[in-house]
Amino acid sequence: MEAKVCGATKRRIDNDQGAVIFMCPQCGKQEIVRSVFARKNAIKYHCSACNFTGPN
């Protein structure tokens, strides 16, 4: 199994309590991986399927 990596920071989220994985809120096709660091600092993420950028 491949380790999950935050799309914004490129950090592995293994044992990162508070990290999240969800489908793109706009298209629902791309998996978004967010580390705790990226979430706390509101670092933007990008969906490669529909070009959605968040957080808003």
In angstroms, rounded to a whole number, what is the distance separating the alpha carbons of residues 21 and 5? 10
pLDDT of residue 55: 83
Q: Residue 22: phi, psi to the nearest 5?
A: -150, 165
Greater pLDDT, 40 or 2 = 40
pLDDT-based confidence at 56, cuts 50/70/90? low
> Can you read off the two tokens belonging to residue 10?
């490129």
Mean of the per-residue pLDDT values for the chain?
93
**Torsion angle of the four alpha carbons 17, 24, 54, 34, in this order, in degrees rounded to the nearest 10:** 20
pLDDT in tens, 1-28: 788 999 999 999 998 999 999 999 999 9
Return the DSSP state at 3: P
**Residue 17: predicted pLDDT:** 93
Amino acid letter, residue 18:
G
Residue 37: pLDDT over 70: yes
* Structural domain boundaries in the chain: 1-56
